[in-house]
Amino acid sequence: MQHDVSQIKEGKTMLLVPSLSLTDNVPPKNPAFFNPNAKWNRDISMLVYRIQASTKYNKTFADSICGVGARGLRASVEVPKIDTVYLNDLNPIAIELAKESAKLNQVESKCLFDSNDVCKFLNFEERDFRKFDIIDLDPFGSPSPYVDCVLRSVSNHGLISITATDTAVLCGVYPKVCFRKYYGFPIRSEYSNEIGIRLLVSFIALTASRFDISIIPYFCHSNLHYMRVYLKVEFGNSLANSVFEKIGFLKHCQNCKHRGVENLREQNLICEVCNKKCNLAGPLWIDSLFYSEFVKAMSGELENGENNAMPVNEFNRLKKMIQICTNELAIPSYFETDTIASMARKSSISLDKVISILSSNGYEVSKTIMNDKGFRTNATSKEIVNLLYK
């Protein structure tokens, strides 16, 4: 091969990647795309796919925009219960690298390759089966143009994992773009990333409902550069009919930081605390973003022998995240210690102290994996400020 290629190991998998992708600050698209910084989110994927693949469904996996194949190849090596992995990328150089890596890992017999437009690949009618059990969609920017194709080609009881890297759009920097991509409005606030995830899930849920499909969020996470959602898929009209109960709006008072959930049919935009007019975000997914049984299974899966090879610091980081998520309250929207401090015009109080003060005063309170300084509570913004800074 004429390009400069390096061999690396990620998880238990050997990967051939363009050398430039290891040295450039922003991994280049040419000759082929590989983002070494996404290792953490691929580690989480392997955990999720191992649980999902242990059910009787879920034996085929499609890495629909695979780049050099990092996620798909890791699934073929690290998720033994997946029978067949399909890797697709429009870039033939990326697919050539993925094929070579499959040989290195001796998994070429369970890997199939395609170099096609993502929708043509997913909806290819001449395959011997029509639906994939697990589909990953990780495009450059917004996943919104491809969500229909993913939902058309996923099997009943399957799982879809979707990444959005247009975080500025979903977090409220470009509300007009957000509306045309996701049919909803964001708000700029300290919990914009959560609003963004809820917009993304709402968009996918409403798209799914057109196909008589319902989705159940299993796990979601985000950082500065991406949001990622894992959604279980169930076919059937009656389940899909209930989608309207899970979609709503969230109002946010810029004055006193009060927030409230409003349903689809009626919205009261006046803040109950200070009587100012609130901003409205939505339509949003207002139901849970985590499925507690699944998060518990993630915790169990992490502890079993499969992860022995993982470096201790990475293992502990994953363990900590899953622990926080296990105890995370399902209250939509979190507060942040810095925002509360600036409301009180005082300096920040540590998250652990905030949690101990709120819980000793009888409030429900938990950390959140969405923000290192974030907490969810049934206390109002006013009650929080009064308790912390009285």
Task: Give contact residues for Zn ion (rule: CB under 5 A).
Answer: 253, 255-256, 258, 271, 273-274, 276
Helix (H) or strand (E) holding 231: strand 227-235
C-beta separation of 170 from 194 below 8 A: no
Q: In the numeric block, which tokens belong to residue 112? A: 């199939």
Query: At residue 248, what is the residue type?
Result: G
As measured in angstroms, the least distance from the Cβ of 280 to Zn ion is: 13
As measured in angstroms, the least distance from the Cβ of 3 to Zn ion is: 57
Query: At residue 279, what is the residue type?
Result: N
Closest CB to Zn ion among 221 and 258? 258
As measured in angstroms, the least distance from the Cβ of 184 to Zn ion is: 22
Closest CB to Zn ion among 37 and 386? 386
C-beta separation of 95 from 167 below 8 A: no
Alpha carbon 62 to chain centroid, angstroms: 17
As measured in angstroms, the least distance from the Cβ of 277 to Zn ion is: 9
Name beta bridge partners: 8: 15
As measured in angstroms, the least distance from the Cβ of 250 to Zn ion is: 14
Closest CB to Zn ion among 270 and 330? 270
Nearest to 10 by CA among 104, 92, 90: 104
Closest CB to Zn ion among 191 and 218? 191
Q: In the numeric block, which tokens belong to residue 359? A: 């819980």
Closest CB to Zn ion among 180 and 276? 276
Q: In whole angstroms, how far apart are CA 371 and each of 37, 142, 344? A: 19, 22, 20
Closest CB to Zn ion among 188 and 319? 188
As measured in angstroms, the least distance from the Cβ of 342 to Zn ion is: 15
Query: At residue 195, what is the residue type?
Result: I
Concatenating the DSSP letter of every residue in 167-220 gives: HHHHTTSSHHHHHHHHSSB---STTHHHHHHHHHHHHHHHHHHHTTEEEEEEEE
